Structure 1
Amino acid sequence: MKLAWTALAAVLMSGSALAQQGPPPGPPPGAGPAAAPGAPRREPPPLYVPEPGQPVENRAAAGTASGQTPAFPQQTRAPFVPSLVTFTVETVTEGLRFPWAMAILPDGRLLITERDGTMRIAHGAQLSPPVAGVPAVQVQEISGLDDVILDPNFAQNQRIYFTYVEKLAVGNTLAVARARLVDGPAPRLEDVKVIYRQEPNLKSEHGNFGARLLFDAQGMLFVTLGDLASDPLRPYIQQLDSGIGKIVRITTDGAPAPRGPFARRRGARPELYALGFRNPLGLAFRPGTNQLWATEVGPRGGDELNLIKPGANYGWPLISYGNEYRGGNVGEGPTKRGFEQPVYYWDPVISPSSLMFYTGEAFPAWKGNAFITSLSQQHLVRLVLEGNRVVGEERLLADRRERLRQVKQAPDGSLYVLTDGGAGKVLRLVPAARQVALSSAAGSP
């Protein structure tokens, strides 16, 4: 299925670049899967059509019962900025069950994880048999088999790294594993080894494991670790001897990366890089800088985009925008000396599930923009930044009414978008002009 359209046409007709109007769908903490089969169908709210320059959101805020206000202008509800980019949406791969992440192999195929413990290789519409050798996975509502990335030297060593929820004799944990991918008609993993585990090992009923992976230029591996969505575990989030609610930086063997910001702090885990997170699902470096950015699924009315600084504390659960899903304020409110403020937050929430910065040539107007997938509000966010401030927001693909799990830039500059749910698929955004040219070439003698 192929749909050609422009962002301007979407504003006037389809709403694909638009925010949604009406009450938020009310996802559970952590933005879990869609309703189970047989559950009453909730009709999505009508699409909101903002005028260019007007706030991208017009719904009553969900997290301002206590009179919360942004700490600085345009920290939320930035102006709607249509890019007027013409693109085509292609369905590349179908038949996925709760896909969670994808890695682009050197030949252009996609290595895809599915929450329930399956890993597959997609070559266009063709899916490989399940990759053999994947460890046993404990499915925890929104987590199971989670992220996957390639080693920076994958072409030489065929190594991959992936995260999954591991059941232990007592409790469970998020595990980071390394393996060698053996390709072929019956792909498999060999030399599987868990290199890192979130500690302490505790029992989480709902998820919020984080689980995102990212390599830096030095070959060190960043891992996001969620708060496990459990009130009794909240004290661990602010404790430096705990891996709960943190971002860590490790080597490819799982050892603490050298010269960590907490390495000399007595009692602190030396791999800690930053702390105070609820469920950080997006992680990316901003092009042309060494800045690390993250998106976080927060409380009701408190999803965040953060600039991650080594050693910084982002406040959860002591401060946050928004309210608890069960009602009431979070901690002491949205601000406090000594804690970082989000660069941007969403109220109502969008459940941001991945983050990337665009660097390609296929869409020149998007260069340098941040792209964020939304689960609960079912759109692809495009953010325009000036310095370290958001000055504009556009919402793409909203008319498709699909939960979006991950966005990745392809080598040719097109965008892959992974949808969530039991009928998951891979979409691809390509320039419409290129699609017309390809169609014309295909029809020529």
Structure 2
Amino acid sequence: MKFRNKILILIVLFTVFACAQDKNPVNTKHSYEVVVKDLSNPWGFAFLPDNSILITEIKGNIIHFKDGKKIEIKNAPETYSRGQGGLLDIVLHPNYINNGWIYITYASSEGEGNGGHTALMRAKLKDNALIEKQVLYKATPNTTRGQHFGSRIVFDDEGYLYFTIGERGNRDENPQDITRDGGKIYRLHDDGRIPDDNPFVKEVNAKKAIYSFGHRNPQGMTINPETRDIWAHEHGPKGGDEINIIKAGKNYGWPVISYGINYIGTKFTDITEKDGMEQPLHYWDPSIAPSGMAFISSNKYSGWKGNLLIGSLKFQYLDNCYIKNGKVVKEERLLDGLGRVRSVNQGPDGYIYVGIENLGIVKLIKK
């Protein structure tokens, strides 16, 4: 009888816990179409001017999807594949049609120390191969830890390039120290030069490319189409995933302030606010494990224009966030249970495309 009672208690606790995690309602008034099938982990993808797609797989290969066929791109950057590391994001230069530059982030073993760290490269595409490869930034030192590489890339309206690097599992040293790489968002010119007005360019020993710091593991970043601000999200620990508006020189708090706790349930901080540290625009508790991020700016989805879409790795859905006065006022699940959502982009046709692990890239269709 005692054993049976224990089983019943565990079932009740599991049910309560599952319900708490499943708080966002499911929106069933949509469907999807598989555009690119049979992908393992489509970490990033970008549309070329002819509407074909360049896709990064975390295991290290770049795929060019064109006319219904997948073409392997040769001479991809050599990646350090460990844990969350590998081939990461990919974007086109805003003036790609004239200059042909493609930007890629990846885990690299080049440089100081054993293991790897996040790097940013640009290259051009010719005859199904990358040419003119140039490493624009390589974080140091390498580490054999397998977590928190970041990494997303965006360009702003002035042509500056921003990219993210996670704190590589070293929360106590990297994110709050501007003399160290990791736990940062960086800003460069498109050729890798450091802008003269970067916030820490005059600080002794600082990493001059840093734009903001105090981040944990930002795997989503995009430009708000209305305000033109940079929005980013990042993984928290157990609880405390965040959405932030990124500003020059600001400290986003990790790990001094957080709405999360250690994975084992213990606390690493007792505070959620502190002077000089930014509050998140929104946070999740429990964590959804966010990855990929895009605003809907087209008219393809009635009632959703202006919404922010964020993938959930943990719960396997696309989070449809309704935004009002700069706040998330409502959330609902799209593509519920289809798989771990890794990447999200609005295509040139105005439709939303979503990279889903062990499935491919799907096109979101509203009924």
TM over 0.5: yes
Q: 2:181 — aligned with what?
A: 243
Q: 1:124 to 1:414 in 2, by over 3 A?
A: farther
Which residue number corresponds to residue 131 of structure 1? Answer: 73
Instruction: Name the CA distance, whole Å, in 1 between partners of 2:67 and 2:238.
Output: 38
Is the aligned partner of 1:361 residue 2:288?
no
2:42 is matched with which residue: 99, 103, 106? 99
Tell me the residue number matched to 2:355: 418
Residues 162 and 22 of structure 1: is their aligned pair in 2 closer, same or farther, counting only changes over 3 Å? farther
Q: How does 1:124-203 map to 2 (within 5 A)?
A: 125-128=68-71, 130-168=72-110, 170-171=113-114, 172-183=116-127, 187-198=128-139, 200-203=140-143
Give 1:180's aligned amino acid: K
The answer for the alignment partner of 1:214 in structure 2 is 154
Structure 1 residues 290 and 92 mapped into 2: Cα distance closer, same or farther (>3 Å)?
A: closer
Q: 1:124 to 1:365 in 2, by over 3 A?
A: farther
Aligned 8 A contact 1:80 1:392 in 2: no
Q: Are residues 396 and 348 of structure 1, via their aligned partners in 2, closer, same or farther at CA, if it must alter by over 3 Å?
A: same
Question: How many percent of aligned residue pairs carry the same amino acid?
Answer: 36
State the distance in 2 between where 1:364 and 1:107 align.
Answer: 27
* Partners of 1:296 and 1:419 in 2: CA distance: 18
Establish whether residue 322 from structure 1 lines up as the match of residue 266 from structure 2. no
| 8 A Cα contact 1:93 1:124, kept in partner | no
Residue of structure 2 in register with 1:89 after alignment: 32
Distance of 2:15 and 2:362 partners within structure 1? 27
Shift of 1:108: 1.0
Amino acid at match of 1:225: I
Judged with a 3 Å threshold, the aligned counterparts in structure 2 of structure 1 residues 89 and 22 are, in CA distance, closer, same or farther, namely farther
Aligned length: 352
| Partners of 1:97 and 1:394 in 2: CA distance | 26
Q: Distance in 1 between matches of 2:355 and 2:266?
A: 34
Instruction: Give per-residue Cα distances to partners, 1:11-52, cap 9 Å, x unaligned.
Output: xxxxxxxxxx9587xxxxxxxxxxxxxxxxxxxx6xx6xxxx
TM score, norm. by length of structure 1? 0.75
Decide which of 274, 279, 283 is 2:212's aligned counterpart.
274
Q: Secondary structure at the match of 2:73?
A: coil
Aligned to 2:6: none
Any unmatched runs of 5+ in structure 1? 1-20, 25-44, 49-57, 61-76, 433-445
Counterpart position of 1:287: 225
Between the aligned partners of 2:67 and 2:344, the Cα distance in structure 1 is 17
Mapping of residues 53-72 of structure 1, within 5 Å: 58-59=20-21
Q: CA, structure 1 residues 377+80, in 2 after alignment: closer, same or farther (shift >3 Å)?
A: closer
The Cα offsets for residues 340-370 of structure 1, whole Å up to 9 and x where unpaired, read as 1111111111110011111011113111111
Partner residue, 1:115: 58
Q: Please give the per-residue CA displacement for 1:184-218, whole angstroms capped at 9, x wherever unaligned.
A: xxx100011111111x3130422201121101111
TM-score calculated relative to the size of structure 2: 0.90
Answer yes or no: is the 8 Å Cα contact 1:94–1:125 preserved in 2: no
* Unpaired runs of at least 5, structure 2: 1-13
Q: CA deviation at 1:94?
A: 1.2
1:80 Cα deviation from its structure 2 partner: 5.8
Contact 1:204–1:229 (8 Å) recurs in 2: no
Distance in 2 of aligned mates of 1:223 and 1:257: 14
Greater relative CO, 1 or 2 (CA 8 Å, sep 6+): 1
Secondary structure of the 2:191 match is: coil
**1:383-442 residue CA offsets vs partner (Å, 9 max, x unmatched):** 111122111111111143x1010111112221111012xx3311111344xxxxxxxxxx
- Given candidates 324, 333, 353, the residue that maps to 1:386 is 324
Which amino acid in the other structure matches residue 273 of structure 1?
Y
C-alpha displacement of 1:109: 1.0
CA RMSD of aligned residues (A): 2.1
Looking at structure 2, the residues matched to 424 and 370 of structure 1 have their Cα atoms a distance apart, in angstroms, of 23
Q: Are the structure 2 counterparts of residues 119 and 94 from structure 1 closer, same or farther at C-alpha, using a change threshold of 3 Å?
A: same
Is the Cα contact below 8 Å between 1:372 and 1:407 reproduced in 2?
yes
Mapped partners of 1:136, 1:270: distance in 2: 26
Is contact 2:84-2:146 (8 Å) kept? yes
How many angstroms apart in 1 are the aligned matches of 2:196 and 2:91? Answer: 22
Q: Give the letter aligned to residue 96 of structure 1.
A: L
Answer whether contact 2:262 2:268 (CA < 8 A) is retained. yes
For 2:174 and 2:30, the matched residues in 1 are separated by 46
Measured at CA, do residues 81 and 126 of structure 1 come closer, stay the same or move farther in structure 2, by a change above 3 Å?
A: closer
Distance 2:325 2:58 in 1: 36
